[in-house]
A and B are shown apart, each in its own frame.
Chain A
Amino acid sequence: MTLEELLAQMPEPVKPWAEKYGPTILAWTAQEVMEWIALVAAGDIANAYGHLVSGMSNDELLAVWGDLEADWSTANTENTRKIAVQKEAVLAIVKVALGIALASVGL
C-alpha cells in the first residue's frame, strides 16, 4: 500500500494523522491497517491513537506530545473565536427583541 492509497481510505478527520504518521502506519500489516481504520471510523479515537503511538520510539512519542499541545492550542484559538461570534449574534437578537418590546408598549 502506498501513502496515497492509505490517504484515500482514511476518514476525513484523521487524514492529517495519516499524512503525518504515514510511514508508521504503512509499516503495519494490511490486516492491522484495516482494523485501525475500523477503529477510527467507529470513533474510538483513544484506541486508534493508542495503537498508533505504541509503535513509536520514545523520542517520537515525546515529539507527538508537542504536536498534541499545538493542536490543543489551535483548537482553543478557534473556540475563543466562535464564542465571540456567538456572543455578537445573540446581542444583536436581544437588541432587536428589546426594540420590539419597547415599540409594543409605545416607547
Chain B
Amino acid sequence: MRHWWVVPLVLLLASGCSGVVLNGEFSARLDSYSAAANVDAASALAGRLDTEGKVASLARQAGQWREFDGAAGVWPFAHVCLNAEYTALLGRTVAISAETAQRAMTGEFDGNSLTTAVVVQAAVWRLFQDARDGRAEQ
C-alpha cells in the first residue's frame, strides 16, 4: 500500500469535528445573526430598543433560525450538518423562536417579557456559535 499515509492524514483532518459543521456561507450568517441579536439584547437591556424594535428583532430571528433548519442535511452535501442531538436542539429552537415571534407580533408580551425574549435568544445564538467552534461556555 504505497499511499498508507493518506489514512492517518484523513483521520487527522477529520479529528476535532464538531457536532455542528457549517459551510463558509452559513458560518458567516451565524456570526452576523449572533452579532445582531447581541446588539439588540444590549440595546433592549439599556432601554434603547422600543417595543417595535424588540418585536422586529424577534420576528427577524425566527426567520433566521428557520434558514439554518432549512439548510440542514447530510455532510458533505448540505450547508448545515448537525449530529442528532444538535438537530433536535435546532428544531426546538426554531419552534420556540417562531412561537415567541408570533406572540410578540400579536401583542401578547409586555415590555419586560419582550426584553427577556430578546436577551435569552441572543444567548442561544452565542451557544450555537460555541457548538460550531467546539467550545463550551466557561
Contacts of B123 in A (CB 8 A): 69
A interface SS class? helix
What size tier do the contact residues of chain B reach? 35 or more
Asked if A58 contacts B12 (CB within 8 A), the reply is no
Confirm or deny: A23 has a beta carbon within 8 angstroms of a beta carbon on chain B: no
Residues of A within 8 A of B111 (CB): none
CB atoms of A61 and B96 under 8 A apart: yes
Q: Are B98 and A50 in contact (CB-based, < 8 A)?
A: yes
Does B135 lie within 8 Å of A80, measured CB to CB?
A: yes
* B100, closest chain A residue (CB): A61
Contacts of B94 in A (CB 8 A): 46, 50
Contacts A64-B96, A80-B134, A86-B17 given; does A71 touch B12 at CB 8 Å: no
Query: In the complex, what distance in Å separates the CA atom of A53 from the CA atom of B87?
Result: 18
B109: chain A residues at CB < 8 Å are 58
- Report the count of interface residues on A (CB-CB < 8 A): 40
Residue from B15, B20, B120 in contact with A87 in the complex, judged by beta carbons closer than 8 Å: B15
A99 vs B46: C-alpha distance when bound (angstroms): 60
Interface: A9 (CB within 8 A): no
Known: A45-B88, A61-B99, A72-B131. 12 other contacts (CB 8 A): A46-B95, A49-B92, A66-B120, A69-B124, A77-B137, A79-B18, A79-B86, A79-B131, A83-B18, A90-B12, A97-B4, A98-B8
- A residues bordering B, Cβ < 8 Å? 13, 44-50, 52-54, 58, 61-62, 64-66, 68-69, 71-73, 75-80, 82-83, 86-87, 89-91, 93-94, 97-98, 101
Listed in ascending order, the chain B residues whose CB lies under 8 Å from chain A are 4-5, 7-8, 11-12, 14-20, 69, 84-89, 91-96, 98-100, 103, 108-109, 113, 116-117, 120-121, 123-124, 127-128, 130-131, 134-137
